[in-house]
A and B are shown apart, each in its own frame.
Chain A
Amino acid sequence: EVQLVQSGAEVKEPGESLKISCKGSGYSFISYWIGWVRQMPGKGLEWMGIIYPGDSGTRYSPSFQGQVTISADKSITTAYLQWSSLKASDTAMYYCARPIMARGLISKIDYWGQGTRVTVSS
């Protein structure tokens, strides 16, 4: 059974760093892209970026390029989303998700993690 299990909720202050995780199991972790989707309070879903654990290749949405870092450790089948300096506007629910690619584009997202709530407040 494919599972994406995310790390727990985080409460941080502005300016702090943070790294949240998503552990994949039940499939060949290095053979599928995995990525992160943001949902701000009361808002819709937004793709942040994806990574291919097989070669660590990454693709970011323009809005998130340079704002976050997506990485993966294939030895422990875990993907990460990292901030170096959090802002209050980073307060959101973050989902990891497994996109299925076709012709270089995302045809569907077939599995999702349970979400990690990040609250940034002073």
Chain B
Amino acid sequence: QSALTQPPSASGSPGQSVTISCTGTSSDDSGYNFVSWYQHHPGKAPKLIIYEVSRRPSGVPDRFSGSKSGNTASLTVSGLQAEDEADYYCNSYAGSNNLGVFGGGTKLTVL
């Protein structure tokens, strides 16, 4: 069982926004904001889309945004497009595993 909890599924229509939560990250006062998000299309390599809670790597559309409140991080995908349909994983450090852990993953469906 993952130390980070994500909803197993999320969905939205093209153009809409959807938010995926990730609960179990360190609290805001820990000084560590190492939450990252990955997009994974089956059969392909995962892709970094958000790091350090809200930073976007170059080349990632600004439709993807991240935030954190307390021990819950969130990924918001705005202006949903068909190609956004994928599995999304959060990652953060958690307690005894100093490598960090992944959330269980959320399958995003674009209706």
What is A's interface to B at a CB cutoff of 8 Å?
35, 44-47, 49-50, 59-62, 95, 97, 99, 102-110, 112-115
Instruction: Given A44-B102, A46-B102, A62-B97, answer yes or no on A107-B34 (Cβ-Cβ < 8 Å).
Output: yes
Enumerate 17 A-B pairs (CB-CB under 8 Å) in ascending A order.
A44-B104, A45-B38, A50-B99, A59-B98, A97-B46, A103-B32, A104-B98, A105-B32, A106-B34, A106-B93, A106-B99, A107-B51, A108-B34, A109-B38, A110-B51, A113-B45, A115-B45
Asked if residues A44 and B2 are in contact (CB atoms below 8 Å), the reply is: yes
Is B86 interfacial (CB-CB < 8 Å)? no
**Shortest CB distance B77–A (Å):** 18
Asked if residues A108 and B97 are in contact (CB atoms below 8 Å), the reply is: no
Is B63 interfacial (CB-CB < 8 Å)? no
- Contact size range, B: 20 to 34
Is B100 interfacial (CB-CB < 8 Å)? yes
Tell me the total A-B contact number using a CB cutoff of 8 A. Answer: 71
Give per-residue flags for B86-100: 1 if the beta carbon is below 8 A from chain A beta carbons, else 0: 000101010011111
Residues in A neighbouring B45, C-beta threshold 8 A = 95, 112-115
Closest residue on chain A to residue B89 by CB atoms: A45
Q: Is the interface of B mostly helix, strand, loop or mixed?
A: strand
What is B's interface to A at a CB cutoff of 8 Å?
2, 32, 34, 36, 38, 40, 44-48, 51-52, 57, 89, 91, 93, 96-105
Closest residue on chain A to residue B99 by CB atoms: A47
**Shortest CB distance B13–A (Å):** 26
Q: In the bound complex, how far is the Cα of B47 from the Cα of A80, in angstroms?
A: 22
Instruction: Given A105-B93, A107-B52, A112-B47, answer yes or no on A47-B36 (Cβ-Cβ < 8 Å).
Output: no
